[in-house]
Structure 1
Amino acid sequence: MSLHIETPLIESLPLSRQAGRSIWLKLEALQPSGSFKLRGIGLACETYAQQGKRRFVSSSGGNAGVAVAYAGQRLGVPVTVVVPESTTERARNLLRELNAELIVHGASWAEANTLAQSLLDDESAFLHPFDHRLLWRGHASLVDEVARSGFRPDAVVLSVGGGGLLSGVIEGLERNDWGELPVIAVETRGADSLNQALRAGTRITLEAITSIATSLGAKQVCERAFDLARSHDVRSVVVSDRAAVNACERFLDDHRLLVEPACGASLAMAYEGAEALEGFDKVLIVVCGGVTATVDNLREWARVCA
């Protein structure tokens, strides 16, 4: 039995009215860990446990770290998560509640990651937030579920941070013979490493993450996602923080679900009437979720973006 659940696939009447086309939602925010990350991380953790690994180590204080902690708790495997000093108190508390060993180190994810790597031994497995084939294979399962439902979209909309979800969704499209379906890959301005890489023709590294959508804050997209974005029909779109936050607010009203701006970026495609949706009658949006967002956070983001 998988650690992730099969999430609802629904047609959103409010978003469909707003976008002028049929908008369908894959509600990954309802995963037990609060985000899509559990699909790939759950598969990876199960695989490593079967190989005899006796500890999981992660360097993410956000959705990936919580997913690792959840998987470790379910599998009875101790978990160590190294987070940077910028990690919110809510994220830290979520990790503690899942009985993860929490280590706070460094000003950035890169510094936390370096320490996490130094903790590994032969009995430990490292869970990368987005750059591993097991993660992509696990994330692809969300497309399997859509295909089994009998619904076939004309295009898929998803948010891009490090590129793990993009890589997994394209893998899922290909293994369900949907390889021709376009993917609209959305980032916020200031966390747009994929968009800038595609424009430059090479993987670039952002000097800093300036977007409030910190879950999209990979300074460099993974190589697999970059390659797929050039070989598959991937349409890169960048939205403002304000558009992402506005989408979060409206989505909370429309569907009673609180998501973070990283997810709001994709929802903004429907709420903002994006040109990228033109020509598509049925659009699937991956509602990737976000476990560390609170109503107070949303109010503060809205104030900052006003």
Structure 2
Amino acid sequence: MINLYDCIQAKENIADFIHETPILHSSQLSEICGNEMYFKAEHLQKTGSFKIRGATNKVLRAVKEGATFVTAASSGNHGQAVAYIARQLDVPATIVVPVDANESKQNAIRAYGGNIEKCGTTSAERLPRAKELAAKHNGIFIPPYDDPLVMAGQGTIGLEIVDQLEDTDAIVVPIGGGGLLSGILTAIKQKNPKVKVIGVEPEIANDTFLSLKNGMITSIPATTTIADGLRTNQPGDMTFPILQKYLDDLVLVSEEEIKLAQSFVLERMKQLIEPSSAVTVAAAMSKKLDIQNKNVVCVLSGGNVDVRTLRS
């Protein structure tokens, strides 16, 4: 498992490449939720999501160890993050995306300097191809979440939160593969274990919920949740033990609750966040956090929204 020192080291490693994102506050949401509601604004991060933290920590190590090429398998935030940091370090990057990848996402990867290769429609097809390319070109494959350096990089968010808001009572975090949550859990529980950490998952993408309930990693079929960044079918082998050890609670939110939260944040806070970010706000608005009169920080994990689908 990673530890607090890994997260502290990652913070030092990536400091010159990322933003220390602000914490926002909403009086109206505080009144609705019955808590003082704060929001860690990773949607304002470079490349539009938290993914740049873990990707930077991993790619920096890869380059230090002699890698001259990196790959990733992602059509979304992770692919954009790897492409961006690779260009900053003057290392070529190829991002393997599905054949039906959204054109706007492909354009974003290209804009950050990444080359694109299309392969299949599932991660089971893309992952082997990305690893094959890395091996062929003296490169390194950059996993999206199940990697110690990636997890430690995401954990820097937890360090920033408790530095920015010393009297934090609870942190609410989205769950996909668990890289973000496991990193924040490690940083928080080893620095200030009194802070409660709560995970949030879509009801129709509840692989972590089922895994924790069953006491073992449990897979689910492919999901169509609007929170597309959380469409993993099981938690990671490395992330899951950390969730088991430290997680205080896990709640599920419906598709309608996610849509309502995303709309509310856009209309009232004037912040454009993606549905995967909105799950944390949805959990608070629907009174599922089992917390009252506390200082609660919701992690807004990203803001990369396809504006053509925003209205629907």
TM over 0.5, shorter chain: yes
> Which structure 2 residues correspond to residues 159-178 of structure 1 after superposition, within 5 A?
159-175=174-190, 177-178=191-192
The counterpart of 1:93, out of the listed 107, 115, 136, is 107
User: Which residue identity is paired with 1:181?
Assistant: V
Q: Does 1:74 align with 2:88?
A: yes
Partner of 2:78: 64
- What is the number of residues matched between the two proteins? 297
Q: Distance in 2 between matches of 1:19 and 1:186?
A: 16
C-alpha displacement of 1:257: 1.8
Corresponding position: 1:155 with 2:170: yes
Cα offset, 1:294, TM superposition: 2.7
Cα distance between partner residues in 2 of 1:215 and 1:186: 13
CA–CA separation in structure 2 for the residues paired with 1:64 and 1:222: 16
Secondary structure at the aligned position of 1:190 is classed as: helix
8 Å Cα contact 2:74-2:96 kept in structure 1:
yes
Alignment-derived partner of residue 213 in structure 2: 199
Residue 288 (structure 1) aligns with:
301
CA contact (8 A) 1:154 1:280 kept: no
SS in 1 for 2:284: helix
Gap regions ≥5 residues in structure 1: 301-306
1:82 to 1:170, Cα distance in 2 relative to 1, 3 A: same
Match of 1:267 in 2: 281
TM-score (norm 2): 0.91
In structure 1, C-alpha distance between the alignment counterparts of 2:103 and 2:20, rounded to whole Å = 30
What is the TM-score normalised by the length of structure 1? 0.92
SS in 1 for 2:59: helix
RMSD: 1.6
- Any unmatched runs of 5+ in structure 2? 1-14
How far did 1:280 drift? 5.4
1:212 aligned to 2:212? no
2:311 partner SS: helix
1:123 paired residue number: 138
User: Does 2:152 match 1:137?
Assistant: yes
Within the alignment, does 1:243 sit opposite 2:257 as a pair?
yes
User: What SS does the aligned partner of 2:48 have?
Assistant: coil
Letter in 1 for 2:61: T
Deviation at 1:109, TM superposition (A): 1.7
Distance in 2 between the 1:76 and 1:47 partners?
14
In structure 2, what is the Cα distance between the partners aligned to 1:150 and 1:241?
30
For residues 245 and 15 of structure 1, the distance between their equivalents in structure 2, rounded to whole angstroms, comes to 16
1 CA distance for matches of 2:293 and 2:188?
17
Taking only the aligned residue pairs, the percentage that are identical comes to 30
Please identify, of 90-99 and 61-70, the stretch whose mean Cα deviation from structure 2 is larger.
Answer: 90-99
Q: Tell me which stretches of 4 or more aligned residues in structure 1 moved more than 3 Å.
A: none
Per-residue deviation, 1:192: 1.3
Cα deviation digits, residues 149-200 of structure 1 (max 9, x gap) = 252311110100000001110121134x212322111011221110011122
Amino acid in structure 1 at the alignment position of 2:103: E
Residue of 16, 34, 45 corresponding to 1:31 = 45
**What is the Cα deviation at residue 275 of structure 1?**
3.1
- Report how far residue 245 of structure 1 moved: 1.4
* Distance in structure 2 (CA, Å) of the matches to 1:86 and 1:257: 29
